[in-house]
Structure formats: structure tokens, C-alpha cells
Amino acid sequence: MSAVLRHILDARQFTRQWLDDVLFPATIELQQTPAAQFGQPLAGKRLFYLFYEPSTRTRVSFEMAATLLGAGVHGIDSQEDQVRAERLEDRIQVLNEYPFDFLLLRYHQEGGAARAAAVSRVPVINAGDGVGQHPTQALLDVYTLKRELGRLDGLRVALVGDLSYERTTNSLAYLLALFSGLTLYLVSPQLLRMRQEVRDYLERSGAQIKEVRDLRAIASELDVVYVTRAHTERLQHAQRFEGDRAGSYALDADLLAALPQHARVLHPLPRGPELPAELDADPRIACFRQAANGLYVRMALLSLLGDTRD
């Protein structure tokens, strides 16, 4: 991977060395800088967001990141009725003619970001492409783990919930696989198992994968519980289908009590009942610190994309 970051499309594009030597230090530096001292390194540059699906959180996070670095922000929202009525490539060819410097794309189908990058004049950032990936979420997740636990090697991580259609966990699994000694516990209904291609990738990378039904049975061994939305129709349907064999994909006080003191609970938000707000006072619940980290990771990514030295 060259020093120049061209696009952010797929968590598999990143190396461990780039995370350790480039992204994490750049993020830490930004996070330790008072807002007033960011300077305006991206002054005169412009981010365009093109959203075929709603995403208030990712949009606001990137909008703030760009603004704090001095860039302007423009965009098209999924709410604008006709957004899907036009070929993605056409939209991007028109945007190519305008003086934008970054394209933040959320697309409703897997592969959208790669299609965009193939025709875009400017760096494309994949802000989620259907059931594919959400690489910037995964980057902020691993940054959070590094910051909270001090290490990324030898982690025992449980990914919990719908692991089939949840792009966040796909991207996170790819990044975790860069580190040695990973044990990944996959806690999902049978119908929503992690996709075969992701599992194959993990195994080739040397990670240990264990599919478990009962999060409780392994709680005391975990460093990380990564909980995802469990109140989706898909997950509820899978649970009904599996009946008695169905596991639980939610955190509760008992489970939290069983976790080691050093462990951390992450959640990409928005959350539902799978992560009860009553537990928030426990310092192991890291989801809001995780969201806060997202701002700085995205600032670092924009800075790196905007650095066009070869």
C-alpha cells in the first residue's frame, strides 16, 4: 500500500502497518488537539455526499470532520425522491465536472462504492454499500479497541447478532484478521451466520473462529463483545424460526457481570433493547466513546485522502 490513500472502499485494502503507523497516530494527534487549533488543512476543498440510503450518523460525522478541517460540504440525501432514478455512474460523471474533492457514498447495493470509484475523478469513501461493507465504521471500531484495551493482538472478540446482512461486522472481521492470535466468536442465528467468503478469509488469515449459540457460556473469556441491532425484522424472524434452539443476542446485567473487568462492549449505534441504557453507567460499555472516536478517525481519513503527495 503506497503512502497515498486513493479511495476507501473495502476493509481488506488496509494493512496492519498502515493502521499502526499512519491512521492511529494521525487520529490520536487530532483527538489531542483542541478544536480551535485544527487549522484549516482542507480549506478550499469540498466533500460531496451522495446517499442512496439514509444515514444520519455517518453523514453528520463526516460533515463535522470535513467542517472542522476547513472543507465545505454539499450533498444529496436519500430522501430526495428521485435519487435512485438515475444510474450511479451518470450521477458521478456529472459530479466529476464540479469542483469537489471527496465523494462520500452510501449505496443500497453491494459493490456500489467500487462502481463509483471506477468512474470518479476524486477519492470515493464507502459509507456503506448494501450488505457489503462499511469500512470507516470498522476503522473507528479497531481504533476504539486499541485505545480502550491498549492492544489488538491476541484478542478474543464476540460478534453478536445478524452477521449475514450486517455490513459493519463484515468490515470489522476483515480488519481484526490483520492482527495475530485472534479468536472470533460468532454469535448469530443459523439463518444469519457470517457469510462463507468472510469466514474463509478469516481462516486463511489464521484467526480461530468459533460459532457459539450461548454468549453466556463464553462471557468470562472475552475481551470484546461487539453487539449489533437485534430488533430488526430479519433477526426476529430467525429467532422465531429457530424456536427453542435460538440464542440470545442481547446484553443484560447478568452477562455484563460475567465479563472480565478489562473487557469492553461496543455497538455501532443506533441501539435497541439489545444494549439496555440502564447498563450505560458501567465503564465497560464503550459505545459513546466509540462514536466520539469516529469523528477523529474520519478527520484523519479525510486528511490522508486530501494529501495528494505521491
Binding segment for a second copy (CB under 8 A), chosen from 70-78, 108-116, 131-139, 187-195, is 70-78
- The residue among 52, 283, 281, 12 whose CA lies nearest residue 139 is 12
In whole angstroms, the minimum distance from the beta carbon of 182 to a second copy comes to: 28
Q: Does the protein bind a second copy through residue 291 (CB under 8 A)?
A: yes
For 39: left if phi > 0, alpha if psi spans -120 to 50, otherwise beta; the answer is left
Q: Does the protein bind a second copy through residue 277 (CB under 8 A)?
A: yes
Q: Does the protein bind a second copy through residue 269 (CB under 8 A)?
A: yes
Residue 31 in grid coordinates = 483527538
Q: Does the protein bind a second copy through residue 283 (CB under 8 A)?
A: no
Binding segment for a second copy (CB under 8 A), chosen from 21-29, 120-128, 162-170, 264-272, is 264-272
Gap between the Cα atoms of 273 and 276, Å rounded: 5
3-state SS, residue 236: helix
In whole angstroms, the minimum distance from the beta carbon of 111 to a second copy comes to: 17
Gap between the Cα atoms of 203 and 106, Å rounded: 29
Residue 36 in grid coordinates = 480551535
Query: Among all chains, which residue has been given the C-alpha cell 444510474?
Result: 87
Q: Does the protein bind a second copy through residue 29 (CB under 8 A)?
A: no
Which residues, in sequence order, are bridge partners of residue 158?
A: 185, 225
Nearer to a second copy (CB atom), residue 10 or residue 141: 141
Residue 142 in grid coordinates = 479497531
3-state SS, residue 194: coil
Q: Does the protein bind a second copy through residue 64 (CB under 8 A)?
A: yes
Q: Which of 32, 37, 97, 281 binds a second copy (CB under 8 A)?
A: 97
Angstrom CA distances, 80 to 36, 52, 85, 236, stand at 34, 9, 10, 30
Gap between the Cα atoms of 44 and 100, Å rounded: 10
Q: Does the protein bind a second copy through residue 197 (CB under 8 A)?
A: no
- C-alpha torsion sign, points 138, 152, 235, 279: negative
Q: Does the protein bind a second copy through residue 149 (CB under 8 A)?
A: no
Nearer to a second copy (CB atom), residue 80 or residue 214: 80
Q: Does the protein bind a second copy through residue 63 (CB under 8 A)?
A: yes
In whole angstroms, the minimum distance from the beta carbon of 46 to a second copy comes to: 8
Q: Does the protein bind a second copy through residue 121 (CB under 8 A)?
A: no
Nearer to a second copy (CB atom), residue 176 or residue 251: 251
Angstrom CA distances, 48 to 39, 99, 123, 249, stand at 21, 10, 11, 36
Q: Does the protein bind a second copy through residue 212 (CB under 8 A)?
A: no
Nearer to a second copy (CB atom), residue 32 or residue 79: 79
Q: Does the protein bind a second copy through residue 76 (CB under 8 A)?
A: yes
In whole angstroms, the minimum distance from the beta carbon of 263 to a second copy comes to: 21
Residue 243 in grid coordinates = 424456536
Which phi and psi (to 5°) does residue 210 adopt?
-130, 125
Gap between the Cα atoms of 234 and 14, Å rounded: 31
Q: Does the protein bind a second copy through residue 80 (CB under 8 A)?
A: yes
Nearer to a second copy (CB atom), residue 49 or residue 174: 49
Q: Does the protein bind a second copy through residue 205 (CB under 8 A)?
A: no
Task: Fill in the DSSP letter of residue 193.
Answer: P
The binding site for a second copy (CB under 8 A) comprises 35-36, 44, 46, 54, 56-57, 60-61, 63-64, 67-68, 72, 74, 76-83, 85-87, 89-90, 93-94, 96-99, 269-271, 277, 288-289, 291-292, 295
